[in-house]
Amino acid sequence: MNKPSIYGLTLDQLTSWLEERGHKKSRAARVWDWLYRKRVTSFSDMADVNEECLQLLEDHFAILTLEVHTKQESADGTVKFLFKLVDGNLIETVLMRHKFGLSVCVTTQVGCNIGCSFCASGLISKSRDLSSGEIVEQIMKVQHHLDEANNDERVSHIVVMGIGEPFDNFENMSDFIRVIKDHKGLAIGPRHITVSTSGLAPKIIEFADSDLQVNLAISLHAPNNELRTRIMKINRAYPLEKLMPAIDYYLEKSNRRITLEYILLKDVNDQKEHALELAELVGNRKKLANVNLIPYNPVDEHSQYQRSTQESITAFYDTLKKQGVSVSVRLEHGTDIDAACGQLRSKQINKAQ
């Protein structure tokens, strides 16, 4: 039987688990330090932890459960990992270099059922959720990769924007965040963590009520229901009449800025009238909302969509600016490798068939 990853336990959960089995609270703290500060990959390397405790952990947990299947490195320093899970499934994780630090984009599900018509992630339906340990381990594998280079670099930012819908795996995603932001471990600041959702309105409200205190991004991609439903089937369940009030609840509860992600598709949603409609939709949320324009990475299986021209992107940006909307254009990474989310995984699966 495959043992679960110990990375799936928060410090409180690890402490409770050990205390229930007769071990001191201090032992959990030492194990935690070995895992996240010293970053060992074997229980036997935890030199100052009681031998009986280590055997107990060894019997019930694994540290490493992911295997590097494929690794692509871009000229700009982006590294895309294709990890193989213990059940043989493949997931993607991406390391990106920015001026402000090193960020990692993690996957939360094997496949995706949201079915956005432009996205490579949804080419293969969801088969299961990832455990919190499998999500945390993506960060650890990337950090181990950095440690091996011996350049004293550490992962500083996290975006939960890989394959899958994070809010469809809410509990495991939440535990993942609690692990990575724990100040005694990786200590990644809440303001350096962003979770993206396609718009599951009830979960946005639950997220607002949680204690996670991390950033939220909404995959909007269209300024009206007709267009959004055409390119994102999730809009049938949570149209703008449900999504926008949930966003308002989040803004009121958290008083934190939100990112509205908008992927630009040539002649589909990138015209001036779409920008004006989007500005109207943002409305009085302008002070707490930023629109992030995303140039499209074409996907072979979605040939009906093309990348917007640079002129269209600039015109869309300028129109929003003139309407007083805070707007940015996402800096692209890894354009010389399989840049689109889910693209590398899809190619590898198709190759194997």
Question: Which residues are the active-site residues?
Answer: 92, 341
The answer to whether 329 touches 289, Cβ cutoff 8 Å, is no
The answer to whether 99 touches 41, Cβ cutoff 8 Å, is no
Amino acid at 57: L
CA distances in angstroms from 294 to 28, 38, 221, 265, listed in the order given: 43, 37, 9, 9
For the CA atoms of 157, 89, 129, 34, the dihedral, rounded to the nearest 10 degrees, stands at -50
| H helix intervals, the chain | 11-20, 25-36, 51-60, 132-149, 170-181, 201-209, 225-231, 234-237, 240-254, 272-282, 310-322, 343-352
Q: How many CB atoms lie within 10 A of CB 183?
A: 9
Locate 32 and state its tokens: 């935690």
